[in-house]
Structure 1
Amino acid sequence: MAAGDMNKYIRNLAARYAAQGDQDFQGLADERRRRPRRAQVE
């Protein structure tokens, strides 16, 4: 799986959990968003 696809998949997963009221997971998703994006190596 390409790195970009994996990122998208994890974000979707995080959004789905956050929608269910899982605050810990929401915090984790926010933390990922704040981190600068690394150069992607395929």
Structure 2
Amino acid sequence: MRHVERLRTDPGAAALTVFHERLLTGLRRLLKARARAENAV
């Protein structure tokens, strides 16, 4: 919802917000997977 509000005012900022949110989501998934792998060993 945050990026939808920014899209109305500044499409460039909205694109960066979406990119940043996706990047953080991917990083969190990667770190969780890594932690699970280390615990499985």
- TM-score, reference length from structure 1: 0.47
Name which one, 1 or 2, has greater alpha-carbon Rg.
2
